[in-house]
């Protein structure tokens, strides 16, 4: 893990990568691509611990939720449920601060942290690798008939190749890179940016009413919309909540490496990683990878 001084550069924005919490299939090692299964109770607890110990924790310097102005979430349940825990945690943190300052735990919308007022969208480009005929099958089972098989080198029958996954990731990266630089696809400065066509939908970025503040509110599809780029360049951090293989390829493509290099990056459930820049906004780097210290509770790792 990088030191805080390297993690939280005040000059350049960051991209936070969160893998969803544990599911029954991830726990059993089964390839889970497009099968839409929910988190296990332990997966929900993982996401809650990530929220409490990282996103709600003002004493850490890895994630600054006040600078997150855009959230991109895979539309699959396990990713959406993980984001919901982070959102509810942000609400708890806001209520606690408001209670301490005013005695009233309910802040006006204009007083809420940016994370609770942020733009949040479901993005189909962030769905997990399509494993085709290997969906629901473990690597151990595949190796019985295909020795030395690797999803990164060999792909899957009737599914995606690593290059196809990388192509999806490249579209997401191009959008984020332009968002953080404040430029359009034509290279000119802009205050708004259109999401990649026909793949992104608005989801709830803020719980709608006081009664819903602590409810397990599902993410809501509200249609395709453009994104507003904050004028303050320090408020252009992006949070992505998605899946292991997809995020491994995305991280390698962020560094302009071939997607196959994702084979060298392990990513655990409910982990947090940080992408960013060094020296300028064209020099893209990994600052933190696969941080999971927050998942330990009572000397036991959850999930």
Residue numbers belonging to the annotated binding site = 32-33, 78
Cβ neighbours of 225 (radius 10 Å): 14
Q: List, in order, residues 6 or more apart from 83 with CB less than 8 Å away.
A: 18, 71, 73, 120, 219, 241
Sequence ranges of the binding site for substrate: 32-33, 78
Distance in angstroms (rounded) separating the CA atoms of residues 44 and 188:
42
Distance in angstroms (rounded) separating the CA atoms of residues 269 and 259:
20
Q: List, in order, residues 6 or more apart from 153 with CB less than 8 Å away.
A: 162, 260, 263
Cβ neighbours of 232 (radius 10 Å): 10
Kindly compute the dihedral angle of the four CA atoms of residues 103, 109, 112, 114, in this order, to the nearest 10 degrees.
Answer: 180
Residue 234 in tokens: 């320090």
**In contact, 115 and 65? CB cutoff 8 Å:** yes
Distance in angstroms (rounded) separating the CA atoms of residues 172 and 151:
21
DSSP-derived 3-state class of residue 247 = helix
Task: Tell me whether strands 237-242 and 68-73 are parallel, antiparallel or unpaired.
Answer: parallel
Cβ neighbours of 178 (radius 10 Å): 18
Q: What are the C-alpha distances in Å from 270 to residues 44, 79, 242?
A: 9, 10, 10
């Amino acid at each position: 893990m990088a030191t805080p001084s390297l993690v939280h550069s005040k000059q350049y924005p960051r991209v936070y990568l969160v893998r969803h919490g544990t599911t029954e299939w991830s726990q059993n090692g089964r390839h889970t691509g497009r099968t839409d299964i929910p988190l296990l109770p332990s997966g929900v607890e993982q996401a809650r611990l990530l929220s409490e110990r990282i996103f709600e924790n003002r004493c850490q310097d890895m994630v600054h939720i006040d600078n997150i102005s855009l959230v991109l979430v895979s539309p699959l349940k396990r990713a959406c449920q993980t984001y919901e825990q982070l959102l509810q945690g942000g609400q708890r943190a806001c209520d606690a601060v408001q209670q301490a300052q005013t005695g009233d735990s309910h802040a006006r919308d204009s007083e809420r942290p940016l994370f609770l007022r942020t733009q949040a969208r479901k993005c189909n480009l962030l769905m997990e690798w399509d494993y085709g005929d290997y969906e629901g099958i473990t690597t151990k089972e595949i190796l019985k008939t295909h020795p030395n098989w690797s999803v990164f080198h060999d792909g899957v029958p009737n599914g995606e190749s690593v290059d196809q996954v990388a192509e999806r990731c490249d579209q997401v990266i191009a959008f984020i890179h332009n968002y953080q630089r404040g430029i359009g696809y034509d290279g000119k400065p802009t205050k708004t940016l259109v999401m990649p066509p026909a793949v992104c939908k608005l989801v709830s970025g803020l719980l709608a009413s006081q009664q819903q503040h602590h409810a397990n509110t599902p993410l809501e599809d509200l249609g395709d919309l453009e994104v507003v780029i904050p004028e303050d360049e320090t408020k252009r951090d992006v949070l992505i909540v998605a899946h292991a293989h997809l995020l491994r390829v995305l991280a390698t493509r962020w560094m302009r490496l071939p997607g196959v290099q994702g084979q060298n990056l392990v990513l655990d459930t409910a982990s947090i990683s940080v992408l960013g820049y060094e020296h300028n906004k064209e020099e893209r780097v990994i600052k933190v990878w696969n941080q999971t210290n927050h998942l330990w509770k009572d000397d036991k790792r959850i999930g």
